[in-house]
Amino acid sequence: MKTIDSLGDLSGKKVLVRSDLNVPLDGTTITDDGRVRASVPTIQKLLDAGAAVIVTAHLGRPKGEPDAKYSLAPAAARLAELLGSPVTLADDLVGPSAKAVTDALEAGQVAMLENVRFDARETSKVDEERQALAAELAAFADVFVSDGFGVVHRKQASVYDIAQVLPAAAGTLVEKEVVSLGKAVTDPARPYAVVLGGSKVSDKLGVIANLLTKADRLLIGGGMVFTFLAAKGYEVGSSLLEQDQIDTVKGYLKTAEENGVEIVLPTDIVAADKFAADADAVIVAADAIPADRMGLDIGPDSATLFASKLADAKTIVWNGPMGVFEMEAFANGTKAVAQAMIDSDGFSVVGGGDSAAAVRLLGFDEAGFGHISTGGGASLELLEGKVLPGLAVLED
């Protein structure tokens, strides 16, 4: 994969950088700036090399047209604070404002184009439409740097097509993501343990199937665990359940046994009478969830069990919380997994998305983990063994 160093002398050149600034907002306030902070090293490296940097990114899911609530203004303001220098935000993506801002940009300065998903061509399934947008973006710059790991699994104009128009390379974040996740995907030190959570089994079908040929242990929590418990014939009450995936999960359990892969399920569950922070909650055995209650976290015995299964692991990958960590009463399972990873001597990867958000929300020191990914979906697809278009296009 080509890196920034392969682009040669960047002094005086304009570099278009695809960053991932898709941050959560409360109105116009960023509630987790992790992705903005992760974008800084690449931008700073380019500035230090004497380049002028033009940032492009998306935020939220606008419907292919401008929408003020998805403006990148909060991200531009936060990036300016982190860089300690102004970041000029254009009023549009490839229109008159973008042209004026990029034309005026000088070496050592940073500009940002407005939300790339304000243009429907960004995510178009029609190659020619994406290519037309890529050509317009390319007119602003001399080279392209792909640094939005959270979107490299997408065949989109600012990720894939642009890399076929301009000299292109991976940014330091994408490079770090590929190297770190590669340790877990290609030749993991063993024992290799994977912790999977989140709401749905169906979101992780390919990952589970792939891991059953690679991992030594799979620890299952979160909403998806109830489909596993149901597959074992247990009552799961009103917990989240994917009835149509029970047979698939039965197949996973059988394959795991045949392959010598240990699947670790909770032994107890925190069961609540409603989905709310003030719900009445009791701890019950995993095979005895009352019919009128829903599981919202793994129980304390399960937390201890999971920690013990991670204690000797040499590689740990975690994707998906163990419970509804946003509510304090149902955060303990997620806390236990995070702490066990910190306590481990092995190489630990937090696989982006809700897991990364949980690490920050629950106050853990990010330095305690080997790597915290910025891309939930991209991380999952790498773990699944898929070819990611935004990476493939950067190959030497």
User: Which residues form the catalytic set?
Assistant: 35, 200, 353, 377
d(CA 310, CA 349): 13
User: Is position 58 annotated in a ligand binding site?
Assistant: yes
If one counts every other C-beta atom within 10 angstroms of the C-beta of residue 99, the result is 15
Q: Burial, 220: exposed, middle or buried (Cβ in 10 Å; 0-12, 13-18, 19+)?
A: buried
d(CA 392, CA 153): 10
User: Is position 292 annotated in a ligand binding site?
Assistant: no
Asked if 351 and 380 count as a contact pair (C-beta separation under 8 A), the reply is yes
User: Is position 50 annotated in a ligand binding site?
Assistant: no
User: Is position 130 annotated in a ligand binding site?
Assistant: no
User: Is position 153 annotated in a ligand binding site?
Assistant: no
User: Is position 390 annotated in a ligand binding site?
Assistant: no
If one counts every other C-beta atom within 10 angstroms of the C-beta of residue 258, the result is 9
User: Is position 353 annotated in a ligand binding site?
Assistant: yes
Asked if 94 and 136 count as a contact pair (C-beta separation under 8 A), the reply is yes
User: Is position 204 annotated in a ligand binding site?
Assistant: yes
User: Is position 190 annotated in a ligand binding site?
Assistant: no
User: Is position 27 annotated in a ligand binding site?
Assistant: no
Cis peptide before 191 (omega within 30 of 0): yes
User: Is position 59 annotated in a ligand binding site?
Assistant: yes
Known binding residues for substrate are 20-22, 35, 58-61, 117, 154
Known binding residues for ATP are 204, 295, 326, 352-355
Known binding residues are 20-22, 35, 58-61, 117, 154, 204, 295, 326, 352-355
Known binding residues for (2R)-3-phosphoglycerate are 35, 117, 154
